[in-house]
Amino acid sequence: MKPDGPVIEKALFGSPCGQCIFEKDYTSYESFAATLIRRLIERIGIKPRYPTPTIGKHLDPDDDAKFLHIPPPDRADTDATKLWVGRLTDILHNPGRQYLCSAVMDRLVPTHDPLRYDDRRIDAARWTFYTAVWTLRRS
């Protein structure tokens, strides 16, 4: 562990280790990350009175957040693509889901292929989103 701490040649963490991580043994990730976070907290000097991060499974707060983990349908399946784009634009139009807007925009207009989905609903949803942000910043 570098740069400011001691160099550890070999360490036993119970189940996690670099070899387990290299071999993609996903059961070892949580305890390995917990060990690294604990050491980082000690090194930085965060006092125990502050909340410390916990390791565990992420739980999505709602169905829309869960939907964002679903991969996009195949481009050849136009009906499924229209349904998928429709669901994402509905999320953008929902004011209660503003925390998802950035992730939705990344899926609708990916930086590596911004013209991937040819659907007018995307432009309408983007316009609604940007005008809402602009209105909030002006007030």
Instruction: Give percent of the chain above pLDDT 90.
Output: 12
pLDDT at 25: 61
Residue 37 has pLDDT above 70, yes or no: yes
Among the ranges given (56-70, 98-112, 121-135), the one the predictor scored with the smallest mean pLDDT: 121-135
Domain definitions of the chain by residue range: 1-57, 63-138
Distances (CA, A) of 50 to 36, 39, 53: 17, 15, 10
Closest CA to 64 of 15, 18, 107: 107
pLDDT at 83: 94
Instruction: Give percent of the chain above pLDDT 70.
Output: 69
Give 57-89 pLDDT, tens digit per residue.
Answer: 777 889 999 999 889 898 889 899 999 999 999
**Is the pTM higher than 0.85?**
no
pLDDT at 2: 47
